[in-house]
Amino acid sequence: MNELSFSELCCLFCCPPCPSRIAAKLAFLPPEPTYALLPDPEAGPAAAGSTGTSSLRSRSGASVSGSGGSGGVEGRWKLHLTERAEFQYSQRELDTMEVFLTRSSRGNRVGCMYIRCAPSARFTVLFSHGNAVDLGQMSSFYIGLGTRINCNIFSYDYSGYGVSTGKPTEKNLYADIDAAWHALRTRFCISPENIILYGQSIGTVPTVDLASRYECAAVVLHSPLTSGMRVAFPETKKTYCFDAFPNIEKVSKITSPVLIIHGTEDEVIDFSHGLALFERCPKAVEPLWVEGAGHNDVELYSQYLDRLRRFIGQELAVQHA
C-alpha cells in the first residue's frame, strides 16, 4: 500500500469518494514485467503465428500470436524470465511450468502459470500474489512453496501486471480471478474440492470475493486487509458505500475452512485487520499470528510452513478422508 499525506487522503476520499480511485491510489503498483511469453516453436506455426517471431512481453501492447478470433490467447507459449525475476532454480524446474493466456469477462488478457511442484499432489493452490510483483518474480517462491507443502501451484497476473492487459482496478481484480478459476477448472480439470484459494495482501481481495461465491477445499488469507478505508483510516468502524476492497463484509459468506496468517508487527496492513477478519469469519480455523513479523517477511518464519503443512496435510486430509 502507498503512503499518502492527510491532504491527499482527504482529496481522495472526499472529492468525490470513488472506489476505483481509492483502489488505484492505495493498492496498485505494477512492476516492470520480469518475464515474457514466447511462442513455442515445437507447437508449430499455428501457435507461433505467421512470422514465428512475435511475443508477448508486457502490458503495453506487444503483438501476440494466435488465432484472430481469440484475440491472441490461444496457442502454446514458453516462459522467458529476465534477470529481474531472480529465478533460483534450474531448467528442470522451469520445465515444470506451463504458461498461457486466458481472457477475463471484462475483455482483458490474463497471464497464467501452472507449476507441477508435486506430481502426486491432491491439492492445487490458486495463488493471488501481493502488490508490486508479477509471475516472474514469484515463480521461485511458488516452486519452493509447492514443493514444501506438497501442492501444485496455479497463479495469474492482475490486469496491468506482467503480460496481462488492461488497467488494475477493483472490478478487474474480480474478473481476473474468475478467469483464473475457470481456466484451472476447465484446462486442468481440477475440481473445487481440490482447490485451495490463497491470497496475500492485496491478493486477499479477489480471493475473499471468489471464496464468498464458490465453495472450495480451503482458503488461506495471508496478511489480509478488512477494507481500503480501514487501511487508510484505522479508526473506521463501518463500511461505507464508497469503500474499496470490503473483505470484512464478504468473509462471513465463505463456507470453506479459512486459515488466516498475519504478522503482529505488520507495518502496511495492521495486525488488527487479521484479527477482525478472524472474528467475523464463521469458518475460520486456528489462525497463525507470527510474533514480530512484518508485512513482507511472514514466510521467513519457520511456523509459517509448519502451520500450512499441518493445515493442508492433516486438517484438510481428515476432512476429505
Instruction: Report the pLDDT value the prediction gives residue 305, as an integer from 0 to 100.
Output: 98
Sorted by sequence, the CB contacts under 8 Å of residue 235 that are 6+ apart come out as none
Neighbours of 106 (CB within 10 A): 16
Question: Where residue 242 falls among pLDDT bands split at 50, 70, 90?
Answer: confident
- Position of cell 514458453? 78
Average pLDDT over residues 216-237: 91
Q: pTM value?
A: 0.87
Question: Does the pLDDT value for residue 58 go beyond 60?
Answer: no
Question: Does the pLDDT value for residue 6 go beyond 70?
Answer: no
Ranges 27-36, 210-219, 275-284, 289-298: which has the least confidence: 27-36
Question: Does the pLDDT value for residue 314 go beyond 90?
Answer: yes
Q: What is the pLDDT of residues 103-123, one digit of tens each?
A: 999 999 999 999 999 988 999
Q: Which residue, 301, 210, 297, is CA-closest to 256?
A: 210
Instruction: Report the pLDDT value the prediction gives residue 79, as an integer from 0 to 100.
Output: 96
The answer to whether 12 and 22 have CB atoms below 8 angstroms apart is yes
Q: What is the pLDDT of residues 153-190, one digit of tens each?
A: 999 999 999 999 999 999 999 999 999 999 999 999 99
Average pLDDT over residues 227-252: 88
Question: Does the pLDDT value for residue 60 go beyond 80?
Answer: no
DSSP tag of 158: P
Question: Does the pLDDT value for residue 141 go beyond 90?
Answer: yes
Ranges 79-83, 158-162, 237-241, 251-255: which has the least confidence: 237-241
Question: Does the pLDDT value for residue 126 go beyond 50?
Answer: yes
| Three-class secondary structure of residue 228 per DSSP | helix
Average pLDDT over residues 120-129: 97
Read off the amino acid at residue 261.
I
Average pLDDT over residues 180-202: 97
Averaged pLDDT of the chain? 87
Question: Where residue 8 falls among pLDDT bands split at 50, 70, 90?
Answer: low
Superfamily of 33-38+74-320 according to CATH: Alpha/Beta hydrolase fold, catalytic domain (3.40.50.1820)
Instruction: Report the pLDDT value the prediction gives residue 232, as an integer from 0 to 100.
Output: 82
Instruction: Report the pLDDT value the prediction gives residue 235, as an integer from 0 to 100.
Output: 81
> What whole-number distance in Å separates Cα of residue 277 and Cα of residue 280?
5
Question: Does the pLDDT value for residue 56 go beyond 90?
Answer: no
> What whole-number distance in Å separates Cα of residue 199 and Cα of residue 196?
10
Question: Where residue 231 falls among pLDDT bands split at 50, 70, 90?
Answer: confident
Check residues 178 and 52 and name the one with the higher pLDDT.
Answer: 178
Average pLDDT over residues 72-100: 92
Catalytic site residues? 201, 266, 295
